[in-house]
Amino acid sequence: MTSKFQNVVSTAASVAATVMLLRSFTHNYIPQEFQNYFYSKLSKLLSSFSTEVTLVIDEFNGITPNPLFAAAQFYLKPQEAPNTKRFRATMTSRSRHVSLLMDGNDEITDSFNGVPFRWRLVSRLGKSNYAVHFFEVRFHKKHREMVLAEYFPRVMKEADAARERRKTLRLFTVKDMRFRMGGRGESWQGVNLEHPATFATVAMDWELKEMIIRDLDRFVERKGLYKSVGKAWKRGYLLSGPPGTGKSSLIAAMANYLNFDVYDLELAAVNGNSDLRRLLIATGNRSILVVEDIDCSLHLQDRLAKPKPKSSQPHHFIPHHFSAPQVTLSGFLNFIDGLWSSCGNERIVVFTTNHKEKLDPALLRPGRMDVHIDMTYCTPGGFKMLASNYLGITEHPLFVQIENLLGVIDVTPAEVGEQFLLDEDPDIALNSLMELLLEKKRNHELKMKAPLTFQ
């Protein structure tokens, strides 16, 4: 029996070698179409002898990334394969961890329960010159069921663990329309997110900070609850406050705390609701979707827009000065609440605004955004925290005076941080902050005294 099997394998191997040889000879002399036809017939003949099956794992399912492909990249360890001669190495300046990845067209043999699995990463130029990547995994056909029931789940599990260990946060932005017409998950472009903000560095009311941390912890722990009440596992935050009060810093702190990637959705770059749908579906799990300046990024105020005749436009369409169709509030909220939130889990949505009063009431309705956070001008508590972070001091004779001024003068944490960066010497830095506050106070008093003018 064994020798019969070996015969088949060696026959198959020699047919394969012959095919390769023939290919190299015929390469220059025989038309490509004929070569392909001839080659596919020979391959079929070859596979009829073979006891192996090959599973192909594409990088994308249509336009969405295939999680099994991503898992295989984390799971396979080329450095442990004795015959691998070429790896790809990547490193992030944040974690300083070197990751070794498989190089294209190389092969790695992995063993599970004593069964060998031969993996190969294939890269090809597909239609419209897109690079197409897929894994081929080959194994004896008698293990087919075991692969699906045990081997792939293990690949997913180990990859999740490896990913968590060496995770680098990514910041994704919407890719330029001109370069993403073809779909195929090319909607976002990512860079490593190396924002230094953490909950320890964001100056804000500490009770509010604790509340946010507790809320995030509870959200992450509550998978079962969301499932049992039939609610999508997502949470919405609305951050409001003047420029420079730390809204973006807080988002980075949340991402760093949860180890979630960030998708920065610039709505002005989105070409209508169907484009929006594609972008939202292409976001990864365990991520934060951010829409900055929601009040001015587009005409979201549906109900304030002039109604159009029903026959010519859908009721939620907003006329816009750009000719391209724009995203509408109803379209956007529908995706966030419905379609998108049910096709993924562990999603956080954050909207920021400098003008909460300008937002459409639909966004402010209870239940829409779960948590509303008002970022304020620098408070005495925030100032002390910045002094400790920037200057390394917890007390100073100027503290009382500065804290009193902060009670009456609006200064943003960004402005305070700027003064603290002027000099490492706390005396000089605090004095320059004092000067700034006194100047602001003088300007404020002058404004109050100025006679009213009518234009």
Ligand X SMILES: Nc1ncnc2c1ncn2[C@@H]1O[C@H](COP(=O)(O)OP(=O)(O)OP(=O)(O)O)[C@@H](O)[C@H]1O
Taking the C-alpha atoms of residue 90 and residue 100, their distance in angstroms, rounded to an integer, is 7
CA dist list (Å): 24 to 20, 49, 280, 388: 6, 23, 46, 70
Verify binding: residue 412, Mg ion, rule CB under 5 A: no
Taking CB positions, which residue lies at the least distance from ligand X?
A: 246
Size of the site for ligand X (CB under 6 A): 17
Minimum separation from the CB atom of position 417 to ligand X (A): 5
Residue 392 in 3-state DSSP?
A: coil
- Among residue numbers 373 through 402, which ones bind ligand X (CB under 6 A)? 375
Alpha helices (H) in 191-328, listed in sequence order: 206-221, 223-228, 247-258, 273-281
Question: Using CB under 6 A, which of 202, 238, 282, 288 touches ligand X?
Answer: 202
Both tokens of residue 63? 């336009």
Question: Using CB under 6 A, which of 78, 185, 236, 246 touches ligand X?
Answer: 246
Verify binding: residue 243, ligand X, rule CB under 6 A: yes
Question: Using CB under 6 A, which of 137, 147, 203, 409 touches ligand X?
Answer: 203
Verify binding: residue 245, ligand X, rule CB under 6 A: yes
Verify binding: residue 413, ligand X, rule CB under 6 A: yes
Minimum separation from the CB atom of position 346 to ligand X (A): 24
Minimum separation from the CB atom of position 189 to ligand X (A): 21
Verify binding: residue 204, ligand X, rule CB under 6 A: yes
94 conformational bin, left if phi > 0, alpha if psi -120 to 50, beta if neither: alpha
Verify binding: residue 248, Mg ion, rule CB under 5 A: yes
Question: Using CB under 6 A, which of 236, 284, 344, 417 touches ligand X?
Answer: 417
Verify binding: residue 240, Mg ion, rule CB under 5 A: no
Question: Using CB under 6 A, which of 180, 184, 209, 247 touches ligand X?
Answer: 247
Verify binding: residue 193, ligand X, rule CB under 6 A: no
Taking the C-alpha atoms of residue 115 and residue 152, their distance in angstroms, rounded to an integer, is 13
Q: Residue 170 pairs with which residues in a beta bridge?
A: 192
Residue 137 buriedness (CB in 10 A; 0-12 / 13-18 / 19+):
buried
354: closest CA among 287, 412, 436, 419? Answer: 412
- The interface region with Mg ion, picked from 69-77, 242-250, 274-282, 382-390 by CB under 5 A, is 242-250
347: closest CA among 296, 394, 284, 403? Answer: 284
379: closest CA among 253, 251, 207? Answer: 207
Size of the site for Mg ion (CB under 5 A): 2
Minimum separation from the CB atom of position 241 to Mg ion (A): 9
Q: Which does 347 bind (CB under 5 to 8 A by kind): Mg ion, ligand X, none?
A: none
Sequence-distant (≥ 6) Cβ neighbours of residue 346 within 8 angstroms: 220, 223, 233, 234, 260, 285, 286, 287
- The interface region with Mg ion, picked from 27-35, 140-148, 222-230, 248-256 by CB under 5 A, is 248-256
Comparison of 57 and 254: residue with beta carbon closer to ligand X = 254
Question: Using CB under 6 A, which of 78, 236, 244, 344 touches ligand X?
Answer: 244
Comparison of 147 and 359: residue with beta carbon closer to Mg ion = 359
- Among residue numbers 333 through 362, which ones bind ligand X (CB under 6 A)? 354
411 and 440 in contact (C-beta within 8 Å)?
yes
Q: Which does 76 bind (CB under 5 to 8 A by kind): Mg ion, ligand X, none?
A: none
DSSP 379: P
Both tokens of residue 442? 């003088």
204 and 82 in contact (C-beta within 8 Å)?
no
Verify binding: residue 249, ligand X, rule CB under 6 A: yes
Q: What is the dihedral of CA 373, 374, 375, 376, to 10 degrees?
A: -150
Q: Which does 235 bind (CB under 5 to 8 A by kind): Mg ion, ligand X, none?
A: none
Q: Which does 243 bind (CB under 5 to 8 A by kind): ligand X, Mg ion, none?
A: ligand X
Residue 342 in 3-state DSSP?
A: helix
- The interface region with ligand X, picked from 21-29, 64-72, 195-203, 441-449 by CB under 6 A, is 195-203
Residue 452 buriedness (CB in 10 A; 0-12 / 13-18 / 19+):
exposed
Q: Which does 384 bind (CB under 5 to 8 A by kind): ligand X, Mg ion, none?
A: none
Which residues contribute to the site for ligand X (CB under 6 A)? 201-204, 241, 243-249, 354, 375, 413-414, 417
Which residues contribute to the site for Mg ion (CB under 5 A)? 247-248
